[in-house]
């Protein structure tokens, strides 16, 4: 006799509408996987009671690693025994999320054999997420993953799996090779990725241009965003084509320039490149006519995070322009200095952005040996009652050696 | 400079710290590093402490755990598993 289908009226609501539904996918998996079946039951129960029934964290992992596995247990193990353990694995994704279909099949085969068969492609960390397995399956799944060339990603207080936009693989605006840098950082920081040694998580995200398709400015401790320092490249004939085809250049391009650094006389666009803030609006609007300059590199920003312990932060400029080419020595020196200072002085669960807020940007810059520059400042100080030590020396002389006026 | 202590000696000292404070204090890797630097003075540095932590973990004497942040603990029966 066929098993009676579990009733899930609350979850069924999430199958309605025109969007893809995770409930539909779990139901499909539940036809052959008991973990997915019990997951539906526990989830329905959570929707009924408005209470989560997962216990999170703990000691699960693979030997030698401190990241990559997120422990999860049901607090209703008698009722839903197949999800009594439901650990998540984070798998280090390839830079730019490029796969062959053969590799995707292999990943799915491994996960159907050792886990719930449910995946999340991809998690907000960027990793491939394998949802739900038992503790005793962790080492076997890890072995099979490494056999096909994959490794676990980061979790906990470590370097999280670096991620990037597709960069030069598909985008002509990429100002540096984001995929190459992502691969390099992943390999260079293997120890820090697998063995948590920091006060809290550290995320690198690489965006090839200021469009920032990976939203690095909002969700990475170090945002590396492509930019240029010469003039925007312009194809004047293509500009004329845009005008001819009906684009209102004055209204939709020049009028929306936040730096007001463009002029349109009806025939030509003139750009004051020194005033350009690299917002990409004009380039996005007229991609055939305008493109980033030729002298390309990246801007390094620091300190963004989503709200967890404290509120959200956006990254702020640390290095306005850097040429990013192998062997990336300058970048690695900078990152190592930051890690050293933060690891030494950061509090438990304090992200680097919060650390900078606590100690002050001036002290942080001094500790990491970076000179303060105007690009690091959002706007001039508003409080005139700020005095700097170097102007007031102990013997009553000012910094020029002249006696101070009383 | 004084002769460095052996990595096993640093790992043993770390293990003792973790074991003695089990149930009272959770150690982060940075806490253990600071503690052995203080204990051994100039006979130990951060690189040696890092190697000692790796030794502890790879020998299975200690494991990484996650409770909000990552910690180093003696392997034990997972409480949440009960």
Cβ distance of B76 and A135 shorter than 8 Å? no
Residue B64 within a domain: yes
Residue B1 within a domain: no
**Residue A394 pLDDT > 60, yes or no?**
no
Residue-level pLDDT at A56: 87
Which band of pLDDT confidence, cut at 50, 70 and 90, is reported for residue A160?
very high
Write out pLDDT tens, residues A316-345: 999 999 999 999 999 999 999 999 999 999
Measuring CA to CA, how many Å separate A54 from each of A35, A58, A135, A309, B52?
Answer: 14, 12, 15, 20, 34
Residue B2 within a domain: no
**Residue B34 pLDDT > 60, yes or no?**
yes
Could you tell me what percent of chain A has a pLDDT over 90? 85
Number of domains in chain B: 1
SS3 A264: strand
**Residue A403 pLDDT > 50, yes or no?**
no
Bigger pLDDT: A276 vs A125: A276
ipTM of model = 0.90
Q: Which domain holds residue B47?
A: 7-81
Residue B22 within a domain: yes
Write out pLDDT tens, residues A99-140: 999 999 999 999 999 999 999 999 888 999 999 999 999 999
- C-alpha atoms less than 13 angstroms from C-alpha of A270 in its C-beta half-sphere: 6
Mean pLDDT across chain A, nearest whole number?
92
Residue-level pLDDT at A3: 64
Give the whole-angstrom CA distance, residue A74 versus residue A173. 47
Residue-level pLDDT at A393: 58
SS3 B64: strand
pTM (2 d.p.): 0.91
Cβ distance of A196 and B64 shorter than 8 Å? yes
Residue B71 within a domain: yes
* Mean pLDDT of the region A388-406: 52
How is chain A split among helix, strand and coil, in percent rounded to 5? Answer: 35, 15, 45
Residue-level pLDDT at A405: 42
Tell me how close the Cα of B78 comes to any Cα of chain A, in angstroms. Answer: 7
Read off the CATH number of the domain in which B12 is found. 1.10.10.10
DSSP A234: E
Chain A interface, best mutation among B14, B26, B30, by max A CB count within 10 A? B30
**Segment holding B38, helix H or strand E:** helix B29-40
On chain A, the residues whose CB falls within 8 A of the CB of B58 are: 63-64
* Closest by Cα among A193, A185, A188 to A224: A185
The reply to whether B38 touches chain A by the CB within 8 Å rule is: no
Write out pLDDT tens, residues A60-87: 899 999 999 999 999 999 999 999 999 9
Residue B57 within a domain: yes
Which band of pLDDT confidence, cut at 50, 70 and 90, is reported for residue A382?
confident
Cβ distance of A155 and B79 shorter than 8 Å? no
Residue B47 within a domain: yes
Which band of pLDDT confidence, cut at 50, 70 and 90, is reported for residue A309?
confident
Residue B76 within a domain: yes
């Amino acid at each position: 006799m066929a098993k009676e289908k579990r009733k899930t009226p609350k979850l069924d609501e999430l199958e309605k509408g025109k969007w893809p539904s995770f409930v539909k996918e779990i139901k499909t998996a539940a036809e052959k996987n008991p973990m997915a079946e019990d997951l539906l039951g526990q989830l329905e129960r959570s929707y009924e009671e408005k209470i989560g029934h997962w216990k999170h964290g703990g000691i699960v992992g693979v030997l030698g690693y401190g990241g990559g596995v997120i422990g999860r247990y049901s607090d209703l193990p008698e009722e839903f025994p197949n999800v009594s353990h439901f650990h998540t694995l984070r798998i280090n994704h390839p830079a730019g999320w490029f796969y062959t279909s053969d590799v995707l099949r292999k990943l799915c085969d491994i996960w159907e054999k050792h886990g719930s068969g449910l995946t999340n492609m991809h998690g907000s960390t960027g990793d491939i997420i394998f949802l739900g397995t038992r503790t005793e399956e962790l080492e076997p799944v890890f072995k099979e993953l490494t056999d096909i060339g994959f490794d676990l990603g980061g979790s906990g207080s470590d370097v999280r799996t670096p991620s990037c936009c597709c960069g030069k693989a598909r985008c002509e605006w990429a100002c540096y090779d984001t995929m190459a840098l992502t691969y390099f950082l992943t390999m260079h920081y293997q120890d820090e990725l697998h063995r948590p040694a920091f006060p809290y998580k550290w995320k690198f995200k690489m965006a090839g241009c200021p469009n920032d398709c990976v939203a690095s400015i909002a969700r990475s401790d170090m945002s590396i965003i492509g930019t240029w320092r010469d003039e925007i490249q312009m194809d004047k004939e293509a500009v004329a084509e845009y005008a001819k085809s009906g684009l209102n250049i004055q209204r939709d391009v020049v009028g929306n320039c936040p730096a007001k650094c463009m002029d349109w006389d009806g025939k030509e666009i003139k750009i004051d490149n020194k005033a350009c803030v690299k917002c990409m609006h004009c380039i996005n609007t007229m991609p055939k006519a305008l493109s980033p300059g030729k002298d390309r590199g990246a801007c390094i920003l620091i300190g963004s995070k989503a709200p967890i312990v404290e509120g959200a932060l956006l990254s702020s400029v640390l290095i306005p322009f850097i040429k990013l080419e192998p062997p990336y020595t300058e970048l690695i020196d900078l990152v190592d200095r930051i890690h050293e200072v933060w690891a030494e002085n950061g509090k438990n669960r304090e992200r680097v952005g919060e650390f900078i807020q606590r100690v002050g940007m001036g002290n942080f810059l001094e500790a990491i040996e970076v000179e303060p520059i105007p690009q690091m400042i959002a706007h001039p100080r508003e409080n005139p009652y700020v005095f700097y030590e170097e102007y007031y020396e102990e013997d009553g002389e000012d910094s020029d050696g002249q006696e101070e006026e009383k | 400079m004084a002769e460095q202590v052996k990595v096993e000696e640093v790992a043993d000292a770390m293990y003792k710290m973790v074991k003695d404070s089990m149930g009272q204090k959770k150690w982060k890797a940075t806490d253990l590093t600071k503690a052995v630097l203080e204990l051994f003075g100039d006979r130990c540095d951060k690189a040696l402490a890092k190697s000692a932590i790796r030794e502890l973990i790879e020998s299975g004497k200690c494991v990484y755990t996650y409770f909000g942040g990552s910690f180093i603990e003696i392997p034990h029966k997972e409480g949440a598993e009960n």
